[in-house]
Amino acid sequence: MRKKSTERSRRSFISNITKGVIGATIIPSIVTAKDRKRNLIELTRSQQNFSANDQVQVALIGSGGMGTADANTCITVPGVKLVAVCDLYDGRLSEAKKRWTNNDLYTTRDYLEILERKDVDAVIIATPDHWHKDISVAAMNKGKHVYCEKPMVHDITEGPAVIDAQKKNKVVFQVGSQGMSSLGNEKAKQLLKEGAIGELNYAEAFYARMSPEGAWQYPIPADASPATVDWDRYIANTTKRPFDKTRFFRWRNYRDYGTGVSGDLFVHLFSSLHFVTGSVGPNKIMATGGLRYWKDGREVPDIMLGMFDYPDTKIHPAFNLSVRVNFVDGTGGTNYLRMVGSEGSMTVEWDKVTLFKNRNIIDATDPLLKTKNVNTGKEYVYERKSMVPPEKLEYTAEEGYKGAHFDHHYNWINAIRNNGEVAENPLFGYRAAAPALLCNDSYFSNNIMHWDPENLKQINK
């Protein structure tokens, strides 16, 4: 079992703080403007240079919103060239030709053609979720390195195939939860290890949205038809249905293609939480929620609440996680991940960590701390820790930080060049996807789901 680490790690946190904050005498309790400045620590990132000959040729499969963002980011990594694009809607292929104007950009509707090409070293897979496993496995079997968008798989049963294909082919495979490579996550991991919040006992996360687009009512192109969309290929690995442009362009709303709010959003939180804590995942998963507002024929809830039990392990103590998504929340755009420990808490963002330290100070003037024995007249002072507001310390990314998305692509390309490791390999990606997918299973089956994250097995109780 894990040893209690608080004393040693707390000392290490304090000594790092005093070294890290210029002139700070540990965090001051009255925060002046000057102090506030001192409580801001800048997070920096250094990057290697590559030789111009070190070119990596990439193809994009799924050229919609995220695929376009991925390719645009990836080509800013020095030495990366986009050579081919695959999509099932002709409009996206013609947009790609206009956007990436190198004359030799190859475009096709058939991903298998991409995988046959000798000029493609690596592929970015940004299709709807139901294609992730099939295209990933096929790509690795053809020797291509893969950047696959989250969630790594569409169904809990699909993970082992991706893990096995990567092991067999020894290519670099990374799942696209970009927060994994962020300065914020790295800092949070270090702070937790150093005991900055003491023993972790709870984590919570929240996503709030309100707009139609935020709730997945994406625009449907006017020319969408069986002529411009390769519908048969789209449904080749799932339920056969007649052409339906809403199911194609708003795929997240339908269970054949998407994975609901938990596969879309909770999965990012699991990736970050597992990275920061070193956890392999929860063993008990419960979800509830409902379709409250966006009643447009969708098959998935627009409000979802998930609760997760993380067991005691060698790496971390037992803790609870609560996550929520609300697509009917006028505060729109709010989201956070917060981790709570016995000595403080921290909110973790990709470019910022805000740490709150509990101040265990006894206020001698507090009358509740003193009492007199009525018989003897003897006065006692209770030694209890008072609940004074925590001290705050912010770590923010340096000016000009390119962001988590760049870092994630950079790490992937770097691993391809150096035969190195990535932060989110298939095993990690599966362990992040599994609780998100089991959350859906819990919601739809109205059952508590049990999972063995160490051995990657669902347990039926």
| Structure-block tokens of residue 434 | 């599994």
Any idea how long the chain is?
461
The 10 Å Cβ neighbour count of residue 264 is 19
Q: At 386, give phi and psi (nearest 5°).
A: -85, 160
* 3-state secondary structure at position 262: helix
Residue 404 Rama label (left phi>0; alpha psi -120 to 50; beta): alpha
**Which residue number has the CB closest to ligand NAD?**
64
If the CB atoms of residues 149 and 194 are measured against ligand NAD, the closer one turns out to be 149
β-partners of residue 86 are 61, 108
CA distance linking residue 364 with residue 233, whole number of Å: 74
State in Å, rounded, how far the first CA of the chain is from the last one. Answer: 25
If the CB atoms of residues 63 and 272 are measured against ligand NAD, the closer one turns out to be 63
Binding to ligand NAD (CB under 6 A) within 348-407 occurs at none
Q: Please select the residue that binds ligand NAD; options are 13, 100, 111, 275, rule is CB under 6 A.
A: 111
The 10 Å Cβ neighbour count of residue 353 is 29
Q: Smallest distance, Å, CB 5 to ligand NAD?
A: 33
Which range in 24-32, 125-133, 200-208, 335-343 contacts ligand NAD by CB under 6 A? 125-133
Q: Smallest distance, Å, CB 277 to ligand NAD?
A: 21
The 10 Å Cβ neighbour count of residue 117 is 17
Binding mask 60-99 toward ligand NAD (x if CB under 6 A, else -) reads: -xxxxxxx------------------xxxx--x-------
Distances, alpha carbon 155 to alpha carbons 260, 430, 454, in Å: 12, 10, 18
Which range in 49-57, 120-128, 302-310, 380-388 contacts ligand NAD by CB under 6 A? 120-128
CA distance linking residue 109 with residue 41, whole number of Å: 48
Q: Please select the residue that binds ligand NAD; options are 100, 173, 206, 234, rule is CB under 6 A.
A: 234
**Contact call for residue 205 and ligand NAD (CB under 6 A):** no
If the CB atoms of residues 65 and 143 are measured against ligand NAD, the closer one turns out to be 65
Q: Please select the residue that binds ligand NAD; options are 39, 127, 174, 411, rule is CB under 6 A.
A: 127
- In one-letter notation, the amino acid at residue 365 is T
Q: At 231, give phi and psi (nearest 5°).
A: -65, -40
Q: Smallest distance, Å, CB 263 to ligand NAD?
A: 7
Binding to ligand NAD (CB under 6 A) within 20-59 occurs at none
**What angle, 0 to 180 degrees and rounded to 10, lies between the N-to-C axes of helices 65-74 and 404-418?**
60
**Contact call for residue 150 and ligand NAD (CB under 6 A):** yes
If the CB atoms of residues 251 and 443 are measured against ligand NAD, the closer one turns out to be 251
Q: Please select the residue that binds ligand NAD; options are 126, 197, 208, 285, rule is CB under 6 A.
A: 126
Q: Comparing C-alpha atoms, which of 345, 269, 281 is closest to residue 315? A: 281
Binding to ligand NAD (CB under 6 A) within 435-454 occurs at none
Q: Smallest distance, Å, CB 235 to ligand NAD?
A: 9
Q: Smallest distance, Å, CB 138 to ligand NAD?
A: 11
CA distance linking residue 255 with residue 11, whole number of Å: 49
- Tabulate helix, strand, coil % of the chain (nearest 5): 35, 25, 40
If the CB atoms of residues 61 and 423 are measured against ligand NAD, the closer one turns out to be 61
Q: Is the peptide bond before 151 cis (omega within 30 degrees of 0)?
A: yes
Q: Comparing C-alpha atoms, which of 259, 268, 240 is closest to residue 130? A: 259
The number of residues that bind ligand NAD (CB under 6 A) is 25
**What angle, 0 to 180 degrees and rounded to 10, lies between the N-to-C axes of helices 426-445 and 159-169?**
170
CA distance linking residue 347 with residue 355, whole number of Å: 7
If the CB atoms of residues 67 and 282 are measured against ligand NAD, the closer one turns out to be 67
If the CB atoms of residues 259 and 442 are measured against ligand NAD, the closer one turns out to be 259
If the CB atoms of residues 78 and 214 are measured against ligand NAD, the closer one turns out to be 214
Q: Smallest distance, Å, CB 87 to ligand NAD?
A: 5
CB 411 within 8 A of CB 176: no
Binding to ligand NAD (CB under 6 A) within 261-290 occurs at 264
CA angle 355, 356, 357 (to 5 degrees): 115
**Contact call for residue 115 and ligand NAD (CB under 6 A):** no
Q: Smallest distance, Å, CB 441 to ligand NAD?
A: 18
Q: Smallest distance, Å, CB 143 to ligand NAD?
A: 19
If the CB atoms of residues 248 and 451 are measured against ligand NAD, the closer one turns out to be 248
Q: Which residues bind ligand NAD (CB under 6 A)?
A: 61-67, 86-89, 92, 111, 126-129, 131, 149-150, 176, 178, 233-234, 264
